[in-house]
Amino acid sequence: MDDITSKYCMPRIKGSQLSCTLVGSLSVLFNLKDTAVLLHGTTGCAHYGMKFCQQMMMRADEIMPGYQLPPVNFGTTALSENELIFGGEDRLCEKIAEMLNAYPNLPLFVIPSCIVEVIGDDVQGACERMSRDTGRTVIYFNMGGFLKGDHFQGVNTTYFDLIDHFLPPPTQTDPRAVNLVAERGLMPAAEIDFLEVRRLLAKLGLSINTRFVRHLAFADLGRVTKAALNLPSVSNQSMAICQRLHERFDMPFLREGFPSGFADTRSWLEAIRESLTLDVNIESLMREEWDFFRTEIDRLGNPLAGLKVIINAVPIHLGWLTEFLEAVGADLMQINLLDTGYFQTDFIDNPGALPCPVNARMRFEDVLANNLDAHADMILQCSVHYSPLPNHQPGLLIKEVPVVPPVGPRGLLNLFVNWSQWIRSNQVEGWRNEPIEHLV
């Protein structure tokens, strides 16, 4: 594994990583169409897995009402206390047979939890026996819950297994087709981001070969290697997956994720143009995007213009947000970066990279003091669930900063529409003059 793979296999947050490898693997496999997934573990893991399915569907429907994820064919062994003591392989084989009967035309993925690793069930052997005895496809994914790592490692390991075992060598490449690699399936706005990426690629005369693996049928995995270029969705984790595709099949890939805002979009489009040697005028394209953005803001009216704004955030990528505030005519007064000890970014060691005073590695109480002295009109912060001021002044607007930035110029325009409607709504008028303690 070379430097880029080892670097980007690591998550952006240090320490315990949100969830285990099992959940990371589920977040990938649930996006594959025409498959079934069996979780081999306890009732607790079973509950978590089913709740996880429901949350994915509910989040998608919140952002795009009526949007449906592919059906999730999910089962679990739900091991009892007795099976944990004496072993759960018999129960696993019974459940595999049950799942194969329930889904007669689908491959079955089997994922073990950490307790199964502890008691020593031979999950791989059971899968191989059942596959041999039934003539069906039963695939073992070596996760092992927290014993094998965190959510991000589960995502990467699952993608690596799919690449290594189910993708064929390329036979023919479409020079005008690209893959979208490892889209953020847990993010509510994943489909909105996809529509913007597709729109931008169409301006370059490119089509999307596959979304690896979002909404991709298992039988269509072989199409992945036909693309001329792989586009990672995010520049940290997705890069390792693109690197694996490059190592296995010599597939070129972009070394930056989906763009946020105008500057990122220009750089992203230029990198694609150079990679595929396209005859496209990127500057002209970006002028069109900017003109459309300004026209829409003027047409809709701009309640953000002239607002004095403070950002209180963990040190995530904020360049897109400062660009957005400048574009809508807001006055960015200062940025307070909270010292959480978890997030990593060059901003925290390079405050000059941002276009206003930056207070780095601040304690929460110091952020409160700064906010009191600044007399801002609007505070953007990493969560609305803590108070930016003990008793904030009347008229102060408080909004949460998206941890995952909106994609492309239209992403910024969608954000402008959302925030404008929020500022003008009666809901905001109803609570913004009151102390914030009731939100905590």
Q: What's the rounded mean pLDDT across residues 399-422? A: 89
Q: Which residues pair with 408 in a beta bridge?
A: 260
pLDDT band at 59 (very low <50, low <70, confident <90, very high): low
Q: Which run of H or of E encompasses 310?
A: strand 308-313
Range with the poorest average pLDDT among 17-21, 214-218, 223-227: 17-21
Q: Is residue 337's pLDDT more than 70? A: yes
Q: What is the mean pLDDT of the chain?
A: 82
Residue 167, phi-psi category: left (phi > 0), alpha (psi -120 to 50), beta (remainder): beta
Enter the pTM of the model: 0.85
| The two structure tokens encoding residue 90 | 């018999």
User: What's the confidence (pLDDT) of residue 351?
Assistant: 52
Q: Is residue 331's pLDDT more than 90? A: yes
Q: What's the rounded mean pLDDT across residues 119-142? A: 93
**C-beta separation of 243 from 253 below 8 A:** yes
The 10 Å Cβ neighbour count of residue 338 is 21
User: What's the confidence (pLDDT) of residue 10?
Assistant: 37
Q: What's the rounded mean pLDDT across residues 232-255? A: 92
Instruction: Give me the residue label for tokens 């969560």.
Output: 383
- The CA-atom distances, in angstroms, between 99 and each of 92, 107, 427 are 10, 10, 48
Q: Is residue 64's pLDDT more than 70? A: no
Range with the poorest average pLDDT among 44-58, 316-330, 407-421: 44-58
Q: Is residue 106's pLDDT more than 70? A: yes
User: What's the confidence (pLDDT) of residue 70?
Assistant: 61
My answer on whether omega of the bond before 213 falls inside 30° of 0, hence cis, is: yes
Backbone angles phi, psi at 382, to 5 degrees: -70, -15
My answer on whether omega of the bond before 110 falls inside 30° of 0, hence cis, is: no
Q: What's the rounded mean pLDDT across residues 319-346? A: 79
Q: What's the rounded mean pLDDT across residues 322-334? A: 92
Q: Which residues pair with 227 in a beta bridge?
A: 174
Q: What's the rounded mean pLDDT across residues 12-32? A: 71
User: What's the confidence (pLDDT) of residue 434?
Assistant: 42
CA distance 232 to 240: 9
Q: Which residue has the higher pLDDT, 45 or 39?
A: 39
Helix ranges, 30-173 (H): 43-63, 81-86, 89-102, 114-119, 123-134, 151-166
Helix (H, G, I), strand (E, B) or coil at 40: strand
Helix ranges, 151-260 (H): 151-166, 190-203, 237-249
pLDDT band at 299 (very low <50, low <70, confident <90, very high): very high
